[in-house]
Structure 1
Amino acid sequence: MSTTARLPHWDMSVVFPGLDSPEFEQGLSQILGDIKELSVLFDKDQIGATPTPPTLDNEFVQNFEWLVDRYNAVLNQVRTMSVYIGCFVNTNSQDNLAQARYSEFQRGLIQLSQLGIRFTAWVGSLDVEALITASSVAREHAYPLRTAREQAQHLMSPTEENLASELNASGGSAWSRLHGNICSQLSVALEVDGETRDYPMSAIRNMAYSEDRDLRRRAYEAELDAWKRNAVPLAAALNSIKNEVNVISRRRNWETPLAASLFDNSIDRETLNAMFAAAHASFPDFRRYLRTKAQLLGVEKLAWYDLSAPVAKESKVWEFDEAASFIVEQFGSYSQRLSDYAARAFRENWIDAEPRSGKRDGAYCAGLRADESRILANFKPAFGGMSTLAHELGHGYHNMNMAGRTPLQRMHPMTLAETASIFCETIVRHAALSQVEASEQIALLEASLQSSCQVVVDITSRFLFEQGVFEKRQQRELSVDELNELMLDSQRQTYGDGLDEATLHPYMWAVKGHYYSTGRSYYNYPYMFGLLFGLGLYARYQRQPEEFKQSYDDLLSSTGMASAAELAQRFGINIRSEDFWRSSLDIIRQDIDLFEHLARS
């Protein structure tokens, strides 16, 4: 019996019975009150930039440790509440109560954001190294304190920072919510099997995986038409967000938004340049993969709507329950701890897997509380659907390993956020490839290469696009046509002759929510870092499995406590060297070689 008709929804009742429950009302009131109390404490202790560094005597150290403990406690509460409300908004953007609760909670988030800026400015005024020597709590938070000290050099005046955070609620954050609400509520009319009906955008985009090329083409054309009809407000949102980021970055004395992004992601320009140089060198190999896929599909050149097309019929249909069992079993080939974690996630209903109207597209994992996460997916009964589950469970495993850390210690960069997800996804892929016949291997291998192509080739195009938007937005707003042309030019530079230039996707800037964030500019390149760093770690695991296992979980627990370069060095990796990135891409090249061999066979 197919399980796709009864895909699970996540269980949020373990936190509160519902958004309309007295328990939720009490919890929200408690958190908002705790934020206000923290603000009073900050005022009392004059937390903020101070012209004269305070004397680090015993009284100061005790007050510092108590304040950090209280600040961490509030951050823990806020994380749970934020994820709880977000789970309702993200699975039903038409839930007016959830939207209202989010708006109500946002008042507290603004105040907490302002306190965070004051805390950073205060740390920047201290002799951090002397404090680390004098305080055990400071030593435990050495990396976040040193990072805050550096970040403090890029803060505006307290008045400007407060104003910026208050205006963001009706500025960048509001534009971001507008994008999310429009996209989650988009309805697209399409004829399928002789019947015309409205489909949510997530379902239309899932048709890119269909075996029927005509259906893929018509879904692609219907999708483009839907984006075209909604392009004006989405372009307004993108223009407004990028202008806000430009202004704030300039006011904070960052050379560019990219410079701020590199700092936030715990890497330097040398590392980024090395990674992109290796990526560009791999484009001929990815184009070779795309040409091979075109041959298997019997077309002269791939169209955009062929990128996700299956090259061979998967004889195996991965229903949700079967996918869950396979993941639990294969995670066990690495460690019982990883397997037990995945089993718990499925058993306790941490996953919302059903695609439906009002639910946001794609997939993500969010840490809810302690070692517990919530995973949003739009599951399809194929290897790709299972692979996505394994990937998001990897994020959850990462969260579990950080459960013993404080919120300040858990604030890890996006570059390291993909470390466990890529690792877990690779475990499942290798296991699946080893258990099927050669005729089935090509389908699974292609699904993996399809994902790698997205993360290396397409993400490079997204980086080029975003870089172009930031530069041009310094002069004026960009029209829909200009955004489209920037997107197309970025795709031409990266996909090259691997795709039919007449069927690229000009509205990918509207599709990807990653562009619509004021807090995380250049959201895309960390995914490439994560893929290639994760593959590099997996290669080391294959060479020295037992030695690797002794250090890996500690690495995951420490991703907010050292720079990416320092953590990589624990495994003998130099991320500033193009050679490392090429070695990770060599793993993908080997898959492309095997794909070509299987295609010829």
Structure 2
Amino acid sequence: MKKEWSLDALYKGYQDEAFQNDFKQMKELITAIKDYVGTLADIKPAEALISLINYLEKYELVFKRLYVYLALRQSTNTTDSETAALIGRLEEINSTLSKEKAMINKYIGAIPNLDQIISENEKLKNYDFMLHEIRREAKHTLSDDVEEVIAKMNLSAGSAWAMLHQYLTSTVAVDYNGEETTLSGIRNQAYDPDQRIRKTAYDAEIAAYHKIKDAVAFSLNNIKSQVNTIADLRGYESPLAMTLENSRMKKETLDAMLTAMKEYMPKFHAYLRKKAEILGHKNGLPWYDLFAPLGESNRTFTTEEAKEYLVTHFRGFSDDLADLIETAFDDEWIDFFPHQGKVGGAFCYNLPFIKQSRILTNFDNTLSDVVTLAHELGHAYHGYNIQDHQPLNTDYSMPVAETASNFNELIIMNAAINESEGKEKLALLESQLQDTTQIICDIYSRYLFESAVFEKRKDSFLFADELENIMIEAQKEAYGDGLDHSCLHPYMWVCKGHYYSEVLSFYNFPYAFGGLFARGLYAKYQEEGAAFVPQYRDILKATTVKSVEDVAAMAGIDLTSPDFWRKSLQTVADSIDVFLQMSM
């Protein structure tokens, strides 16, 4: 089994004739689209709409293939100047179509008999949801020339600042025990069973952020300023309002979820205080022990063992999911280990146009890393279930993006816990609570932090020390007395790449949404067994063509009611009660 992914299914390199031809085809399609848009006034809307869809499908396929290939190559080598240059070239070429895309959206939004035209064409019926989304979004579209300027300026603005953050965090040298390592490598030490190692690694991590914090602060300030400006120009009440509309999610749903989360925070704080007590701390848990393993489950995994473990446990849920996992390991879909220049964390890129996915992790042989693999393979399974949609129907919104990944985590962890006993059971249960606390307490702190930054950035520049203070205050509110307030993490805003996107703001609450929504679906699976699996697949498939509320309604769930979220959180509270009792 190879430890690095292969991208040959996309292209075999930059000199690959297919790569060169696709760049050429993208330019030709842009020219053709520009020419066609110029004739829209002379064509009947029904004919024009079908032609526009055909053009956009072709463009989507060629652009996505090129973009994903470049993004994947850059993620494993952020110092590759050729890749960086090609990304810049691709984005510049793509930006030349911004004016025409705005014109197309306005054209579709203004078609008076849109519903009739859709009903009379089978292909357009498949795009009913997308076309009505375009009509809704049309009111936020600016003039054609302004849309073009925004897209072009972004190349040297938000997009460039995001690349700076990625470059700095992937290349900064971390001084540790007389040697240099990476941020990904040092963060993996947070799971070490030796407290001295965890503390030393935490100190080294904090010192490394100090080297780059000022430059990263400029990245964050300018990205958030740009988003504030664009949200205002487009007539949104706030960046959050813009995010929610783009996420196909109601504010009532977010409010209901946050209401329930805040009600249950004390339960998570009780778990953290007990963990602190077990580890010998009197004033709550210091940050460096947040991921400390408890019990005696110090099991390690090779990548081969991880594959066997995952396939075995998922086979009982669904053969198609287990088969997908085998394919991912065997067909070089996964890039496993950290190294200099590779980005931190983990992600999955779905490639529906070739019916595959690619997964990046920073594997360190622990159970937590196996759970991370299960999480990312959940994204791949989500991609598997939407890959037969039409080319323009393969993007799901941020909140539902974390559904299948968290569902996978529940399957793997619950199976492992149920199979264990004694101190190993305690260790596994605590590991699950550790991860759930991240998507509740930590995600809430990130939501608070980003909300404050957007608000303060309206009229002031936030230097690194102020960003540190905002983060600390957010952590205090979210973690309460569960953490030792004298040992928090002031640089989580540097660590997490989710803040550094000019097109995806508030990529925090979707993790809480995904985790709790998945728990609700998992409860239904426990009630209904195998009969629920086909419905689960249908729900995943629908995420690209329905609002989040309508997707949930397929399972009889009302997301705007705090009661649903309370039921999901109560399942965690029950696990916390078991943990507290076992650790007495």
Which of the five TM-score ranges fits, normalised by the shorter chain? Answer: over 0.9
CA distance in structure 2 between the partners assigned to 1:318 and 1:596 by the alignment: 28
Where 1:572 maps in the other structure, the secondary structure is: coil
For residue 112 of structure 1, report the CA deviation from its aligned partner: 4.3
1:49: which partner in 2? none
Q: Of 275, 283, 293, which residue of structure 1 is paired with 2:275?
A: 293
Post-superposition Cα deviations, 1:456-482, rounded to whole Å, max 9, x if no partner, equal 111111111111111111112111111
2:398: which partner in 1? 414
For residue 7 of structure 1, report the CA deviation from its aligned partner: 6.3
Summarize the alignment of residues 338-417 of structure 1 with structure 2, pairs less than 5 Å apart: 338-368=321-351, 369-417=353-401
CA distance in structure 2 between the partners assigned to 1:114 and 1:385 by the alignment: 44
Distance 1:202 1:327, change over 3 A: same
1:487 aligns with 2:471: yes
Post-superposition Cα deviations, 1:123-168, rounded to whole Å, max 9, x if no partner, equal 2111332332333233211111111111111111111111111100
1:71 aligns with 2:56: yes
1:229 aligns with 2:211: yes
1:567: which partner in 2? 551
1:443: which partner in 2? 427
Summarize the alignment of residues 513-532 of structure 1 with structure 2, pairs less than 5 Å apart: 513-532=497-516
CA distance in structure 2 between the partners assigned to 1:314 and 1:86 by the alignment: 37
**Residue pair 2:88, 2:155 contacting (<8 A) in 1 also:** no
Summarize the alignment of residues 297-316 of structure 1 with structure 2, pairs less than 5 Å apart: 297-300=279-282, 301-316=284-299
Distance 1:112 1:327, change over 3 A: farther
1:91: which partner in 2? 76
Distance 1:207 1:404, change over 3 A: same
**Residue pair 2:445, 2:474 contacting (<8 A) in 1 also:** yes
1:534 aligns with 2:518: yes
Q: Of 3, 26, 42, which residue of structure 2 is paired with 1:8?
A: 3
For residue 408 of structure 1, report the CA deviation from its aligned partner: 2.2
CA distance in structure 1 between the partners assigned to 2:305 and 2:528 by the alignment: 31
**Residue pair 2:29, 2:55 contacting (<8 A) in 1 also:** no
For residue 365 of structure 1, report the CA deviation from its aligned partner: 0.4
**Residue pair 1:488, 1:504 contacting (<8 A) in 2 also:** yes
1:543: which partner in 2? 527
For residue 598 of structure 1, report the CA deviation from its aligned partner: 2.0
**Residue pair 1:324, 1:346 contacting (<8 A) in 2 also:** yes
CA distance in structure 2 between the partners assigned to 1:313 and 1:111 by the alignment: 58
1:217 aligns with 2:199: yes
Q: Which moved more, 1:318-327 or 1:575-584?
A: 318-327
Letter in 1 for 2:173: S
CA distance in structure 2 between the partners assigned to 1:21 and 1:396 by the alignment: 27
CA distance in structure 2 between the partners assigned to 1:212 and 1:109 by the alignment: 50
Q: Of 257, 262, 266, which residue of structure 2 is paired with 1:275?
A: 257
**Residue pair 1:7, 1:354 contacting (<8 A) in 2 also:** no
**Residue pair 1:7, 1:320 contacting (<8 A) in 2 also:** no
2:23: which partner in 1? 28
Q: Give unmatched runs, 5+ long, in structure 2.
A: none
Letter in 1 for 2:64: R
Letter in 2 for 1:431: A
**Residue pair 1:365, 1:395 contacting (<8 A) in 2 also:** yes
Q: Which moved more, 1:441-450 or 1:342-351?
A: 441-450
Q: Of 81, 84, 94, which residue of structure 2 is paired with 1:109?
A: 94
Where 1:544 maps in the other structure, the secondary structure is: helix
Q: Of 538, 544, 557, which residue of structure 2 is paired with 1:554?
A: 538
CA distance in structure 2 between the partners assigned to 1:536 and 1:504 by the alignment: 32
1:334: which partner in 2? 317
Post-superposition Cα deviations, 1:186-232, rounded to whole Å, max 9, x if no partner, equal 111111xxxx1000111111111112222222221222222122111
For residue 591 of structure 1, report the CA deviation from its aligned partner: 1.5
CA distance in structure 1 between the partners assigned to 2:223 and 2:545 by the alignment: 30
Letter in 1 for 2:33: L
Q: Which moved more, 1:131-140 or 1:166-175?
A: 131-140
2:165: which partner in 1? 179
Letter in 2 for 1:496: G
Post-superposition Cα deviations, 1:432-452, rounded to whole Å, max 9, x if no partner, equal 112223211122112211111
Distance 1:109 1:447, change over 3 A: farther
For residue 114 of structure 1, report the CA deviation from its aligned partner: 4.3
1:40 aligns with 2:35: yes
For residue 585 of structure 1, report the CA deviation from its aligned partner: 0.7
For residue 485 of structure 1, report the CA deviation from its aligned partner: 0.8
Letter in 1 for 2:198: R
Summarize the alignment of residues 502-517 of structure 1 with structure 2, pairs less than 5 Å apart: 502-517=486-501
Letter in 1 for 2:266: P
Post-superposition Cα deviations, 1:470-505, rounded to whole Å, max 9, x if no partner, equal 111111211111111111111111111101101111
CA distance in structure 2 between the partners assigned to 1:439 and 1:119 by the alignment: 61
2:13: which partner in 1? 18
Summarize the alignment of residues 219-258 of structure 1 with structure 2, pairs less than 5 Å apart: 219-258=201-240
CA distance in structure 2 between the partners assigned to 1:443 and 1:40 by the alignment: 63
Letter in 2 for 1:67: L
Letter in 1 for 2:289: D
Where 2:316 maps in the other structure, the secondary structure is: helix
What percentage of residue pairs aligned between the two structures are identical? 36
2:142: which partner in 1? 156
2:410: which partner in 1? 426
Distance 1:501 1:174, change over 3 A: same
For residue 319 of structure 1, report the CA deviation from its aligned partner: 1.8
Q: Of 470, 476, 497, which residue of structure 1 is paired with 2:481?
A: 497
For residue 113 of structure 1, report the CA deviation from its aligned partner: 4.4
Distance 1:203 1:315, change over 3 A: closer
Distance 1:116 1:343, change over 3 A: farther
CA distance in structure 2 between the partners assigned to 1:134 and 1:28 by the alignment: 35
**Residue pair 1:231, 1:480 contacting (<8 A) in 2 also:** yes
For residue 239 of structure 1, report the CA deviation from its aligned partner: 0.6
CA distance in structure 1 between the partners assigned to 2:101 and 2:436 by the alignment: 37
For residue 553 of structure 1, report the CA deviation from its aligned partner: 1.1
Letter in 1 for 2:530: E
**Residue pair 1:19, 1:97 contacting (<8 A) in 2 also:** no
Q: Which moved more, 1:28-37 or 1:216-225?
A: 28-37
For residue 555 of structure 1, report the CA deviation from its aligned partner: 1.5
Distance 1:35 1:116, change over 3 A: same
1:138: which partner in 2? 124
TM-score between the two structures when normalised by the length of structure 1: 0.94
**Residue pair 2:382, 2:540 contacting (<8 A) in 1 also:** yes
Q: Which moved more, 1:85-94 or 1:24-33?
A: 24-33
For residue 370 of structure 1, report the CA deviation from its aligned partner: 3.2
Letter in 2 for 1:466: E
**Residue pair 1:370, 1:400 contacting (<8 A) in 2 also:** no
1:284 aligns with 2:279: no
**Residue pair 1:410, 1:559 contacting (<8 A) in 2 also:** no
Post-superposition Cα deviations, 1:390-438, rounded to whole Å, max 9, x if no partner, equal 1101101111111111232222211111111111121111121122232
CA distance in structure 1 between the partners assigned to 2:332 and 2:471 by the alignment: 39
Where 1:8 maps in the other structure, the secondary structure is: coil
**Residue pair 2:444, 2:478 contacting (<8 A) in 1 also:** yes
CA distance in structure 2 between the partners assigned to 1:111 and 1:433 by the alignment: 53
**Residue pair 1:319, 1:381 contacting (<8 A) in 2 also:** yes
Post-superposition Cα deviations, 1:160-192, rounded to whole Å, max 9, x if no partner, equal 11111110010000000000011110111111x
